[in-house]
């Protein structure tokens, strides 16, 4: 990318001496290897430098302000998609080849094929403009005073309803397919036939005997989906002007704010690795045979 961070400060009175002084302040006059070692050292202490675009605001201050909102958006989206997608996938597998299975499969393919940013724009237009039921920007009502945290949480949920629906719709389809495919391998097992012969209801057989052993592959995939959620958050937060990490990253790329770009990628990478590790731990808890084989 052309230019350097000092191009943001170019204006009347901005001399070559001022440019060199600014580069020294940013530490960009040192050799590349020394800059890299300093970056690694500072990262261990949580020091990601200052934002070029919001100078002299520390990058960590921006992260602390934005990260909880993105975690809430991603957590709500995962919760909704898993809570709805797994029962739908189980229902489709139980009715394999029937009209219900074909309908759910086609609907899942439809939502899986829609780009998240397009769906976000469509929902914002329909429910933010045509039928103004929900806000289409921000995380909280500007200037609102809350008497307790519950009121603030309700306002946050109201503002994030459309972004959560947008992200959940895409990942819901994925979990529906995952559960359907996993369950189709379980249903022919003998213990399912035995459970049916005992006179148990379809609901008891499905959710008490079939779904639990089919769930571990879905849980493992959940860890990998966090990375895709992070990518989706960039698009969705930009469409809805939601002040989270995704919007911060998008604005930083446009402004060539390199310290913010590096910090947001770092935290998103930690989130992905942490979620994958947690998924592996939970996998061994749900299926002890995995831990025993290792």
Q: What is the mean pLDDT of each run of 10 residues along the chain (294 residues)?
A: 64 71 77 87 85 84 88 86 86 84 87 85 89 85 80 87 88 83 79 74 74 73 70 83 87 85 86 78 66 48
| pLDDT value at residue 293 | 47
pLDDT at res. 1? 57
Two tokens, residue 275: 């979620």
* pLDDT of the residue at 197: 78
End-to-end CA separation in angstroms for the chain: 47
Question: Could you give all domains of the chain from N- to C-terminal order, each with its CATH number?
Answer: 49-293 (1.10.3720.10)
- pTM to 2 decimals? 0.77
The answer to whether the CB of 128 falls within 8 A of the CB of 162 is yes
pLDDT of residue 177: 84
15 burial (CB, 10 Å; 0-12 / 13-18 / 19+) is exposed
DSSP secondary structure of 140-170: S-TT---SSHHHHHHHHHHHTHHHHHHHHHH
């Amino acid at each position: 990318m052309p230019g350097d961070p000092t191009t943001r400060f170019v204006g009347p009175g901005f001399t070559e001496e001022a440019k060199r002084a600014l580069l020294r302040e940013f530490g960009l006059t040192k050799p590349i290897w020394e800059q890299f070692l300093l970056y690694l050292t500072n990262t261990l202490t949580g020091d990601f430098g200052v934002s070029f675009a919001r100078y002299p605001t520390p990058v960590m201050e921006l992260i602390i302000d934005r990260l909880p909102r993105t975690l809430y958006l991603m957590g709500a989206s995962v919760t909704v998609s898993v809570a709805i997608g797994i029962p739908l996938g189980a229902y489709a597998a139980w009715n394999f080849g029937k009209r219900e299975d074909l309908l759910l499969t086609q609907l899942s393919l439809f939502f899986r094929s829609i780009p998240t940013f397009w769906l976000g724009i469509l929902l914002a237009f329909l429910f933010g403009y045509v039928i103004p039921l929900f806000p289409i920007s921000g995380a909280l009502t500007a200037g609102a005073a809350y008497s307790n945290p519950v009121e603030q949480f309700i306002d946050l949920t109201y503002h994030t309803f459309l972004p959560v629906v947008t992200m959940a719709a895409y990942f819901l389809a994925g979990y529906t397919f995952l559960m359907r495919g996993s369950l189709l391998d379980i249903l022919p097992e003998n213990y399912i036939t035995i459970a049916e012969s005992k006179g148990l209801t379809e609901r008891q057989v499905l959710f008490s005997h079939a779904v639990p052993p089919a769930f571990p592959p879905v849980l493992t995939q959940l860890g990998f989906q966090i990375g895709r959620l992070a990518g989706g958050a960039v698009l969705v937060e930009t469409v809805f002007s939601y002040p989270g990490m995704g919007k911060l990253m998008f604005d930083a790329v446009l402004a060539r704010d390199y310290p913010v770009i590096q910090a947001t990628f770092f935290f998103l990478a930690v989130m992905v690795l942490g979620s994958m590790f947690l998924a592996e731990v939970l996998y061994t808890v749900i299926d002890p045979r995995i831990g025993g084989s290792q």
